[in-house]
Amino acid sequence: MKKATIIIIVIVAAAAIAFLSFRSKKEDAADLALREEINGFFYDAEKNPVRVPGSGFWESYAYPIHAKITATVFWVGEEADENNGFIHNSASAWDSDWVGSFGGTDDPEDREGLLPDAFTPDENSFYFALPYNDFDDEGRRKVEVFELAEWAEGARVPENESVLKNRWIRIVKNEKTAFAQWEDVGPFEEDDAGYVFGSASPRNTEGKKAGLDVSPAVRDYLGLEGVDIVDWQFVEEKDVPDGPWKKIITGPRG
């Protein structure tokens, strides 16, 4: 190989390495800025206020308020044990690779503010589970969901796409409000339509008899215990105020 050719190869390789290094630093800076923006709502709430409509707005809202509901904490990547009915959370009801989609395990202890310490998620860290699945055990859509979920009435949705996944609720504890997206089914039950879409009490009799599972970010933002009492209500996305839950929003896959 001629000396000139070798020199050209070296120059091109050096330029490629420099470009990749620059891009990596730029991505790292953007990631750090995003984390700081999200955690600013947690560490410095006075400088980053969340403007939530008053109680009158929600009391006259289209969806009912589910009051005094027991909430427990769960997370992406949670291992199966007796506390969760031996159901692992590496997959969700609607995502066979939930850990992969999220970007890793949402460790409930190793945290930096409202985020896992080890990485910045690819999906919203404010998520929850309610005990109704719009697909049956054979993977067929339950036709009644279009009557149960008001937002689904008349909607044209691909057969393999959930009409519930990614929907928003507000969660209230001691007059503080968080907003989160629906990403899994539980706790324990998966067909409790009377509670989820109606006014009945949760049917679950297992464990703490919880009617709602919330993520570590929701727990920390609201200051919840591992088992706590909250109010919750379905919310249209247009009515979700800016806050840490709006910086990374989970959307449709594909």
Which distant-in-sequence residues (6+ apart) come within 8 Å of 212 by Cβ? Answer: 69, 70, 71, 72, 128, 129, 130, 171, 187, 230, 232
Which pair of structure tokens corresponds to residue 26? 């730029």
* Residue span of the structural domain in which 12 resides: 1-49
Residue 69 clears pLDDT 50, i.e. is over it: yes
Provide CB contacts within 8 A for 74, sequence distance 6+: 84, 89, 129, 184, 186, 187, 213, 214, 215
Give 187-204 pLDDT, tens digit per residue: 999 999 999 999 999 999
User: Amino acid identity of 145?
Assistant: V
Average pLDDT over residues 218-229: 98
107-122: average pLDDT = 98
Average pLDDT rounded to a whole number, residues 92-97: 96
Average pLDDT over residues 62-83: 91
**pLDDT class of 147 with cuts at 50, 70, 90:** very high
The encoded tokens of residue 92 equal 């969700």
Answer whether residue 194 is part of any domain. yes
Sign of CA dihedral 49, 50, 51, 54: negative
Please state the φ and ψ torsions of residue 183, each to the nearest 5 degrees. -125, -5
The answer on 40 and 85 residing in a single domain is: no
**Same-domain check for residues 78 and 11:** no
Give the whole-angstrom CA distance, residue 155 versus residue 214.
Answer: 27
- 67 occurs within a structural domain: yes
- The count of structural domains within the chain is 2
* Residue 251: inside a domain: no
Express as a percent the part of the chain with pLDDT over 90.
78
Task: Based on the fold, state whether residues 43 and 59 are members of the same structural domain.
Answer: no
- 208-218 pLDDT, tens digit each: 999 999 999 99
* Residue bearing the bigger pLDDT, 19 or 81: 81
Tell me the Cα Rg of the chain. 22
Query: What residues does 213 pair with on adjacent strands?
Result: 72, 129
pLDDT tens digit sequence for 26-51: 458 999 999 999 999 999 988 999 99
The CB-side HSE value for 82 (13 A sphere, CA atoms) comes to: 1
According to the model, what pLDDT value does residue 79 have? 86
Note whether 182 and 237 are same-domain residues: yes
Q: Do 132 and 185 meet the contact criterion of CB atoms below 8 Å apart?
A: yes
- Does residue 156 have a pLDDT over 50? yes
Beta bridge partners of 185: 130
Q: Specify whether 12 is located in the same domain as 104.
A: no
Q: Is residue 253 part of a domain?
A: no
* Together in a domain, 25 and 92: no
Shared domain for 4 and 119, answered yes or no, is no
In a domain, 84, yes or no: yes
Of residues 17 and 143, more confidence is placed in 143
Q: Determine the Cα–Cα distance for residues 251 and 123; give it in Å rounded to an integer.
A: 8
Confidence of residue 18 (pLDDT cuts 50, 70, 90): very low
* pLDDT at site 2: 66
φ/ψ of residue 98, rounded to 5: -65, -40
Do 129 and 238 fall within a single domain?
yes
Residue 231 bridge partners (DSSP): 172
Higher pLDDT: 24 or 118? It is 118
The average confidence (pLDDT) of the chain is: 91
For residue 179, name the pLDDT band (cuts at 50, 70, 90).
Answer: very high
pLDDT at 42: 96
- Residue 237 in domain: yes
What's residue 112's pLDDT?
A: 97
The CATH number of residue 91's host domain is 2.40.40.10
Does residue 28 share a domain with residue 134?
no
pLDDT band at 236 (very low <50, low <70, confident <90, very high): very high
Question: Do residues 113 and 129 share a domain?
Answer: yes
pLDDT for residue 25: 46
Q: Are 62 and 150 in contact (CB under 8 A)?
A: yes
The answer to whether position 99 is within a domain reads yes
pLDDT of amino acid 197: 98
The predicted structure's pLDDT at residue 4: 66
Q: Are residues 29 and 65 in the same domain?
A: no
Same domain, yes or no, for 13 and 120? no
Neighbours of 140 (CB within 10 A): 9
In a domain, 137, yes or no: yes
Cis preceding-peptide flag for 53 (omega within 30 of 0)? no
The pair of three-digit structure tokens given for residue 143, joined into one six-digit string:
């036709």
